[in-house]
Amino acid sequence: MLNAAVPMVRVERGGVEEALHVGHLVAADAGGRIHASAGNPQRLTYFRSCAKPLQAFAALETGIASRFDLKPEHLAIMAASHNGEPRHVEVVRDLLQRSGVPESALQCGAHWPYYEPAAADVRHQLSEPLAVFNNCSGKHAGMLAAAGALGSPLDSYLVPDHPVQQRIQHAMAKFTACNQEDIRWGIDGCSAPNAAVPLAAMARSFAAFVGASDAAA
């Protein structure tokens, strides 16, 4: 099959192949030039959590960093998944507090911390998990902060036509160099809209994102 997935990792046991992991890969620069690829570099692929830095970028464009006096740890938690460790939860809660958003506004869903010692501790205190423990709660806190800064509704911050999601869609188009109408959208595991683009466009977006950061520095 043309551009089929290619072997990436082969696991052997006693000299016998036990598992074979296949996939696609591509290395591209900020101009979209492909330097290396394997499999299908144009395969339509969801960003999933890889979208977090671009989603955080869109939120930061609303001016929340200066408006709410955000620190590096707030920016980091917005752009990353976390394990629900005490420090992670503390930073998410502080971000919400600084932006004047109640913890109850989080719509990412609740689960116990992925970090087992933290999960064991809170299970002794709570009968049900909290949304702030969700590995995507930092991203959602950033979106809510942006909604607050824009004076937009908090209860609909995940709706595709919400001003925050519109800004995210624009950022995705900007960094991937895809037309907005060509980007496919689905719903991520945390209930937020998530973009699917050709793998090469995804690679380009990160090269462009890093380049933009270097230029700003």
Task: Give the pLDDT mean for 181-205.
Answer: 98
For residue 129, pLDDT beyond 50: yes
Distance CA 191, CA 194 (A): 9
pTM of the entire predicted model: 0.93
For residue 213, pLDDT beyond 70: no
Task: Give the pLDDT mean for 144-170.
Answer: 98
Task: Give the pLDDT mean for 148-177.
Answer: 98
For residue 217, pLDDT beyond 60: no
Q: What is the dihedral of CA 216, 141, 72, 118, to 10 degrees?
A: -140
For residue 214, pLDDT beyond 60: no
Task: Give the pLDDT mean for 25-49.
Answer: 96
The amino acid sitting at 124 is H
Residues 6+ apart with CB under 8 A from 37: 24, 25, 26, 27, 200
For residue 2, pLDDT beyond 70: no
pLDDT digit string, tens, across residues 78-100: 999 999 999 999 999 999 999 99
At 45 the pLDDT is: 97
Q: Give the largest Cα separation in the chain, rounded.
A: 62
At 212 the pLDDT is: 73
For residue 144, pLDDT beyond 60: yes
For residue 127, pLDDT beyond 90: yes
